[in-house]
Amino acid sequence: MKQTFYKPGFILLWIGIFAVAMGYLESAVVIYLRTVFYPEGFAFPIKALGFRLTITELLRETATIIMLITLGIVAVKKPLVRFAAFIYAFAIWDICYYLFLFLLVGWPGSFFTWDLLFLIPCLWTGPVAAPLINSVTMIVLAVLITVFNSRQHKAPLRTSEWFLLIAGSVITIIAYTSDYLIFMLQKFPLVKIIAISPEVVVQEYASGYFPDHFNWILFSVAEILFIAALMTYFLRYRKKKRSLLK
């Protein structure tokens, strides 16, 4: 039983099934919210939710991340594979979230439809294509880590590879949040913008925000860093791949 559990395909299959189901739940919640707040269909500008619903949404997003992290901790023992399980589940969940939204309500209309992606610590916005690209990248990295670290084998990421992944993540976050922050910083200091529950005046001003520029250059730089980390990791361990999969 233990040998079966730790086969890469087994781990990825069941984590994937969990993430698909979670993606459906996420899409269902969003459909309910949009039915209440955007009965004519979701579009910017965003509508102020008020204190109670803002806190509820922040806690829901936090709970989602905790669930995905916990899944990796329960599924496997190796710390690096737990990380892989987290990003794999996150990516599958995100892809299925958009897939189910499209199947259920026909949204998004295209890969370049703007979406509100995240609320912590401030609004993340971007075309749907961007998080989907990130998700595919995460899936590739997660599969490589899981396969190369299967059974008794160890294939750690080097410090240089961690640096590339972390730097790419920071740049990606900047790409998602910079347009909104530039708009908000014209009137409010950063501390008020990223407050757990922004003041009413801050929310009212934010309701006038229309995303009109996504920094594809920054996003592309981040993806190049991710791919560099993937390639160096893959090339270092590719010779072991056949033995790992036996």
For residue range 134-193, list pLDDT tens digits in order. 999 999 999 999 988 876 678 899 999 999 999 999 999 999 999 999 999 998 888 888
The mean pLDDT value for 76-93 works out to 92
Could you tell me which residues are beta bridge partners of residue 37?
A: none
Position of tokens 């990796």?
72
Number of structural domains in the chain: 1
| pTM of the model as a whole | 0.89
CA–CA gap between residue 60 and residue 158 (Å, rounded)? 34
Report the largest interatomic distance among the alpha carbons of the chain, rounded to a whole angstrom.
Answer: 61
pLDDT over 60 (residue 1)? no
The reported pLDDT for the residue numbered 244 is 47
The mean pLDDT value for 66-77 works out to 87
The reported pLDDT for the residue numbered 113 is 94
The reported pLDDT for the residue numbered 95 is 97
pLDDT over 60 (residue 121)? yes
Confidence of residue 242 (pLDDT cuts 50, 70, 90): low
The residue segments making up the domain with residue 106 are 2-245
The mean pLDDT value for 126-140 works out to 97
